[in-house]
Amino acid sequence: MFGVVPKSIWNKLNPADENNMCSWAMRCLLIEDGDRLILIDNGLGDKQDKKFFSFYALHGDDSLLKSLHAAGYSADDVTDMFLTHLHFDHCGGGVKRVNDKLQLTFPNATYWSNADHWQWATKPNAREKASFLHENILPMQESGCLKFISAEQPFPIPGFDIFYASGHTDKMMIPKINYKNRVICFMADLLPSAAHVPLPYVMGYDTRPLLTMTEKEAFLKEAAEKNYVLFLEHDPIHECCTVKQTDRGIRLDQTFQLKDIL
């Protein structure tokens, strides 16, 4: 998760267990906008076999559907399923298995990706092949519910802008959402956690780590200047953070929960 950063350094930030595994979240974001209910990413779902899940040691009682219900909604209420990218831990929850058949988890939703990333994911390179699982991806298109965001077909919510990043995987989408005079940025895998703010802290999963560093540097500089709220998908503790400019470069400023600004 920290690439070339030595364990003696990163282990102080997110301590590993006896199996060299760290705890991480799969935190999604739900947005209510008039008669639309937008969900950003959906975790890894539960349709894979026991061998698959044994690699990841899932723990805790939270689930996507339980969290939706706690907010007063069901899967049927989601109108837009926005996918930052199609790695299994970001899109696997969008398709479920019922009586050995694959169905969309959100039957009334439009599923949003982009054409370049879709091509990348459906014809994967050897490095990422294990992260792009056909059973997570193809049912979106087969259902007729898939749409691609483009200049000609932007995401249909005002105040919802997209930053494209290609260091982690090709054309990952980072939403920038205007809310109450703040900009909330869903950081996906451009900034997995607050511990990844320093520039060299780049995941070993990234296909183009030097490009990630360039993209992250530009994004975090803008975030510091404009006081963006950075929503952290994988941080096990912190939901959100802000960053600041220092003599040593961009550094973590504050951490807080999303409800603190709602």
Average pLDDT rounded to a whole number, residues 143-165: 95
- Whether residue 262 has pLDDT greater than 80: no
**136 and 232 inside one domain:** no
Q: What is the span of the domain harbouring residue 49? A: 24-152
Average pLDDT rounded to a whole number, residues 148-156: 93
**32 and 147 inside one domain:** yes
pLDDT, residue 47, reads 94
Classified as helix, coil or strand, 139 is: helix
pLDDT, residue 120, reads 97
**138 and 168 inside one domain:** no
Task: Give a yes or no: residue 4 inside a domain.
Answer: no
**208 and 181 inside one domain:** yes
Q: How confident is the model at residue 214 (pLDDT cuts 50, 70, 90)?
A: very high
Average pLDDT rounded to a whole number, residues 6-12: 94
**225 and 114 inside one domain:** no
pLDDT, residue 25, reads 96
Residues 75-132 have pLDDT tens digits of 999 999 999 999 999 999 999 999 999 999 999 999 999 999 999 999 999 999 999 9
How far apart (Å, rounded) are the C-alpha atoms in residues 214 and 163?
13
Give the global pTM: 0.96
**180 and 101 inside one domain:** no
- Indicate the residue among 152, 170, 186 that finishes a domain: 152
Percent of all residues in the chain with a pLDDT value above 90, rounded to a whole number: 95
Say which amino acid occupies 241: C
How far apart (Å, rounded) are the C-alpha atoms in residues 26 and 43?
6
Q: What is the CATH number of the domain that holds 203?
A: 3.60.15.10
pLDDT, residue 201, reads 96
Structure tokens given for 121: 């994911």
**222 and 245 inside one domain:** yes
Per-residue burial over 208-235, b = 16 or more CB atoms within 10 Å of its CB, e = otherwise = bbeebbebbeebbeebbeeebbbbbbbb
Total tally of structural domains belonging to the chain: 2
Residues 188-201 have pLDDT tens digits of 999 999 999 999 99
pLDDT, residue 261, reads 86
Average pLDDT rounded to a whole number, residues 192-211: 96
**30 and 107 inside one domain:** yes
**115 and 30 inside one domain:** yes
Average pLDDT rounded to a whole number, residues 194-213: 96
Residues 31-59 have pLDDT tens digits of 999 999 999 999 999 999 999 999 998 99
Task: Give a yes or no: residue 55 inside a domain.
Answer: yes
Distances (CA, A) of 47 to 67, 135, 150, 227: 18, 9, 31, 39
**120 and 40 inside one domain:** yes
Task: Give a yes or no: residue 39 inside a domain.
Answer: yes
**34 and 110 inside one domain:** yes
**180 and 75 inside one domain:** no
> CB neighbours (10 Å) of residue 62?
12
Task: Give a yes or no: residue 204 inside a domain.
Answer: yes
Task: Give a yes or no: residue 185 inside a domain.
Answer: yes
